[in-house]
Amino acid sequence: MLPGRANEPTPSTSRWRRIYLAVAIYTVLAIVLLYAFSSYFGG
């Protein structure tokens, strides 16, 4: 087994999956908002 690999899933796995999904949505949202900012002020 690789050093440092967990033997089994931890109880917090599903919570972290939701956090990771939130980060992905956040990135898309950041791009949309930046694009909207540029467009609104005529960039």
**SS3 of 42, please?**
coil
How many residues sit in the footprint of other proteins (CB under 8 A)? 24
CA distance 38 to 28: 16
Query: Helices (H) and strands (E) in the chain — how many of each?
Result: 1, 0
Tell me the per-residue interface mask from 3 to 42 with other proteins, x by CB under 8 A, - otherwise.
xxxx---x-x---x--xx--xx-xx--xx--xx-xx-xxx
Would you tell me which residues interact with other proteins (CB under 8 A)? 2-6, 10, 12, 16, 19-20, 23-24, 26-27, 30-31, 34-35, 37-38, 40-43
